[in-house]
Amino acid sequence: MDAAPARGRADTSLDEVELVDDADVMIGTMGKLLAHELGLRHRAVSVLIHDRQNRLLIHRRAANKYHSGGLWTNTCCSHPRPGEPVLRAATRRLKEEMGIDVALSPLFVMQYRARVSRRLIESEVVHAFSGCFEGTPEPESSEVSDWRWISLPDLCADIDRRPERYTIWFRYFRSRHWPAICQVAAASAVRAPDPQECPV
């Protein structure tokens, strides 16, 4: 489904991110774009929203995003402001990007490093959160070009079959943390999925 018209949110390319060491201890701040140009490790947040039908809400990044534009990914991906607790950042950005305001729970923490364009490198400590939502999102069109609910088995199969359609970090979620994602979705589902529906 298409995203709603832009709500006039300011460009975030100059926002500062928290630089961290390999133990996720903050060691400084830097402009978001420069941190990606230099490939410096920084803190990030990601949200995975599911419903009671064991489906995950995914979105397609707007084509003009500073990297990974046009690719499908999890419900919300962003960065905390300097000094902002990660849960507060995840809750805030979920509301700003997708128009969703629900309680979130910690899901996992993951580090990764990957080149996402000719000049940008993602080097992140990602704090992932999950939440349950029944309704229709109201995404910000400057962030989101499309969205859909998809069953976990169908999503798993599509990531494995066509990985180039998805962001690199979402593919890492699939390869490293899929059992945890399936487990938390199943806990809220009306019908518990067959174990074969969530292959590792």
pLDDT tens by residue, 117-142: 989 999 999 999 999 999 999 999 99
Using N-to-C axis directions, what is the helix angle for 168-188 and 152-161, rounded to 10°? Answer: 160
Q: What DSSP string runs through 34-63?
A: HHHHHT--EEEEEEEEE-TTSEEEEEEEPT
**Catalytic: 76?**
no
pLDDT at 93 over 50: yes
Q: Which of 18, 76, 77, 140 is catalytic?
A: 77
Amino acid present at 68:
S
Mean pLDDT within 31-51 = 97
Instruction: Give the per-residue pLDDT at 10.
Output: 45
Percent of the chain at pLDDT exceeding 90: 78
pLDDT tens digits for 4-29? 544 444 445 568 999 999 999 999 99
Range 16-191 classified under CATH 3.90.79.10 = yes
Q: What is the model's pTM?
A: 0.88
Query: What is the residue extent of each domain of the chain?
Result: 16-191
Instruction: Give the per-residue pLDDT at 13.
Output: 56
pLDDT at 72 over 50: yes
Q: Which of 124, 156, 182, 198 is catalytic?
A: 124
Q: Which residue has the higher pLDDT, 92 or 185?
A: 92
Strand-strand pairing, 55-61 and 42-50? antiparallel
- The CB-side HSE value for 33 (13 A sphere, CA atoms) comes to 7
Instruction: Give the per-residue pLDDT at 187.
Output: 84
**Catalytic: 77?**
yes
Mean pLDDT within 153-159 = 95
Mean pLDDT of all residues belonging to the chain: 90
